[in-house]
Structure 1
Amino acid sequence: MNVLIVYGTTEGQTRKIAERVAKEVADCGHSVELLDAGEPGASVNLDAFQAFVVAGSVHQEQHQNAIKNFATAHCDRLNASPSAFISVSLSAALEETRPAAQSYVDQFVELTGWRPRMTLLLGGAVRFTEYDYFQEQVVKFIVMRRGLTSEPGADREFTDWTALASFVEDFLETAAD
């Protein structure tokens, strides 16, 4: 099976997640291609693929425009094929804020018209070492408000890599049927 993984990333964690998905898919013996939807001129012939995984991160309660635009433009093709959506956010990292993370996915689906067969809410990361002062203050507030713990000024991943591996395995099983 030939699988296309499309991602949109703001700070790099979703790219890291998409790369891990690509490795898992390839390790299972499938062909895989990665596409950064945010790259200028990014395009690919979707007819060359039998299955699709789209991953996007949430910032200010919205997924990236590049991911929204990709899903909207190709919703018919995505709906006609095995497809999955991975939504990356800090809200997905805690059980009590997962309803908010799910609402971001619900808004995305409503807006784009794409109905992925599977979805995964996945925690993202904070990269304090890469933020300017203003970004650092905003992220500290969000982390504190969400009840997530992190060393002051230290980077931290909230991604559940085991859940991601299980999700990819389940997706490949359903896509092969």
Structure 2
Amino acid sequence: MNLLIVFGTTEGQTRKIAERVATDVRGRGHQVELLDSAEFTSDLKLGHFDAFVIAGSVHQEHHQEAITNFVFAHHELLSTKPSALISVSLSAALKGHEADAQKYVDRFVSVTGWQPRMTLLLGGALRFTKYDYFQEQFVRFVVMKGGDPNPERDYEFTDWNALADFTDRFLETIG
């Protein structure tokens, strides 16, 4: 099987997630190609891929424009072959915010016209060590709702076991 993983990342966590999926899929003897949606060119031929995984992070309640545009442009092909969506957000990791994470996926599916075979809501990361003052304040008071995370360190909320289980289940669905 030849799988294409297209990812959109802002701070690097979704790239890390896409790379983990690629490693797991290669470990099972399949071919995998990774594509950063920000580097997508219109001359890329997609027809030879047997399946697709789209991984996109959510910021300010929306998936990145590059990943949205890629899926919108190719939703017909994605709908005819096995495909899955990994939606990466802090809402997916925060207790009581799972409905928000699902809302972002529902909006993405509605906008793009694509119906993925499987969907995973996955927690992302906070990269305080890379934020400027204004980003840090935004995360602390808007995203974390006044919570007091330590801005001296980064936080990773990705459930790697859930990702591995998702990858296994997706591969089982495509034989």
Normalized against structure 2, the TM-score is what? 0.95
Question: Structure 1: how far apart are the matches of 2:42 and 2:156?
Answer: 28
The answer to whether residue 52 in structure 2 is matched with residue 73 in structure 1 is no
**1:13-162 maps to which residues of 2 (within 5 A)?**
13-39=13-39, 41=41, 44-145=44-145, 150-162=149-161
- One-letter code of the match for 1:30? H
CA displacement 1:76-98 (0-9 Å, x = unmatched): 00000000000000000024100
> Which letter maps to 2:41?
G
Structure 2 runs not aligned, ≥5 long: none
Partner Cα separation in structure 1 for residue 136 and residue 173 of structure 2? 41
Match of 2:170 in 1: 171
Give the percent of matched residue pairs that are identical in Structure 1 and Structure 2.
64
- Whether the 8 Å CA contact 1:97–1:146 is kept in 2: the answer is no
CA separation of 1:48 and 1:102: change in aligned 2, threshold 3 A: same
CA 1:69/1:8 → structure 2, altered by over 3 Å: closer, same or farther? Answer: same
Change in Cα spacing, 1:40 to 1:75, as seen in structure 2 (3 Å) is: closer
- Residue identity in the other structure for 1:12: G
Question: 2: CA distance between counterparts of 1:24 and 1:54?
Answer: 15
Report the alpha carbon displacement of residue 41 of structure 1 after superposing the two structures with TM: 3.3
Check 1:157–1:82 CA distance in 2 against 1; reply closer, same or farther (3 A cut). Answer: same
Counterparts of 2:64 and 2:126, CA distance in 1: 17
Could you tell me whether the CA contact under 8 Å between 2:86 and 2:119 is conserved in 1?
A: yes
Runs of 4+ in 1 over 3 A off after TM superposition: 40-43
Whichever structure has more helix as a proportion of its residues is 1
Aligned partners of 2:169 and 2:85: how far apart in 1? 13
List alignment gaps of at least 5 residues for structure 1.
none
RMSD value over aligned CA atoms? 1.5
What's the TM-score once normalised by structure 1's chain length? 0.94
In terms of mean alpha carbon deviation, does 87-96 or 165-174 score higher? 87-96
User: Could you tell me how far apart the structure 2 residues matched to 1:146 and 1:160 are?
Assistant: 24
